Amino acid sequence: MAAIESRSLGRGRISVPVVGLGTWQRLEAAAAAGRHRELVDTAIAAGVRLVDTSPMYGDAERLLAEALDGRRDEVVIADKIWTPSAQEGVAQLARAVDWYGGRVDLMQIHNLVAWPTHLPMLEDARARGLVGLIGATHHSAGAFPELAELMATGRIDTVQVPYNPLQREVEQTILPLAEDLGLGVLLMRPLGEGRLVRREPSPAELAPLRPFGVTTWVQALLRWGLSDPRVSVSLAATAHPDRVRANAAAGSPPWFGPEERALVERLATAR
Ligand SMILES: NC(=O)c1ccc[n+]([C@@H]2O[C@H](COP(=O)([O-])OP(=O)(O)OC[C@H]3O[C@@H](n4cnc5c(N)ncnc54)[C@H](OP(=O)(O)O)[C@@H]3O)[C@@H](O)[C@H]2O)c1
């Protein structure tokens, strides 16, 4: 299997393989089947390094810490602060630092909740070595003007936003601004929360993508996002170890050009 390409995650300070692992709902699902350790082990074996989680994702942060047992240093932890309360923000950071061996590599402000409150706290934590990079996330295009305002302060290193063939609002402002400012971009919902993969195009429809090493629709969707060089890492989420392996296989060049991306967009629209 070809190695996953690595890209810079925010101002060139950390480089990560372009396929990451999301944990929203799926890590708990893996744990319910007794497979969360196997899921994380398989991800690491497949070359995945960045794992994204949040206090919003139920028990996912704790399950991730449990699954990493002894392998913490092999991954880049992207966690979040998600609360309107300053005090609870401090407590969430303390819990995460405790779970992940004394530091969180990337701490993001989830959905921009109370960012003016949490940002100085995170900057202080970064100065104390508890946090590596600072980022912000939002899932809704309606919040992108506020996200752009925060990006322009120069105080964050990464953004996390949705980007797939049916959700392309980030192309208007967020991706160009991230490129100008040298910010890392974590791509959420690469498979449209699973909606995009429910109906597969036929092998004949996918045939033009075969010279790119792409034989499945999931790989086509993941390669579509990663073929935009402004994207640093794609956070596909799955509860199944075999799917983690398949997703990781989409993280190597050759990348799509405009024609292949347009084909994936047409096929996605037709689903
Ligand atoms: N900050 C935010 O506001 C925010 C919002 C949304 C997401 N996120 C982050 O981004 C991550 C990814 O987004 P997402 O979880 O919404 O959606 P996604 O990755 O676009 O899609 C996940 C769905 O795709 C399925 N799937 C994954 N790989 C597959 C494969 N190889 N074949 C078939 N089905 C596959 C999964 O089901 P199975 O488990 O059954 O495989 C799951 O239902 C999240 O986990 C989270 O870390 C952040």
pLDDT at 10: 82
The CA-to-CA distance between both ends of the chain, in Å, stands at 30
Low-confidence ranges of the chain (pLDDT < 50): none
Owning domain of residue 178:
11-194+230-241
Could you tell me if residue 262 is inside a domain? no
Dihedral sign computed on CA atoms, order 71, 52, 257, 177: negative
Q: What is the CATH number of the domain that holds 178?
A: 3.20.20.100
Decide if 43 is inside a domain.
yes
Atom 5 in ligand 1: which residue has the minimum CA distance?
139
Residue 160 lies in a domain: yes
Could you tell me if residue 4 is inside a domain? no
pLDDT of residue 143: 98
- Can you give the pTM of this predicted structure? 0.97
Residue 76 counted as domain residue: yes
Cβ of 193 closer than 6 Å to ligand 1, yes or no, is yes
At residue 238, the pLDDT reads 97
Identify the pLDDT of residue 1.
Answer: 61
Is the CB of residue 194 below 6 angstroms from any atom belonging to ligand 1? yes
The per-residue pLDDT for 45 is 97
Task: Point out the ligand 1 atom lying closest to the alpha carbon of residue 191.
Answer: 20
Q: Is residue 207 part of a domain?
A: no
Domain count, the chain: 1
Question: Mutate which of 160, 197, 244 to test ligand 1's pocket (most atoms within 8 Å of Cβ)?
Answer: 197
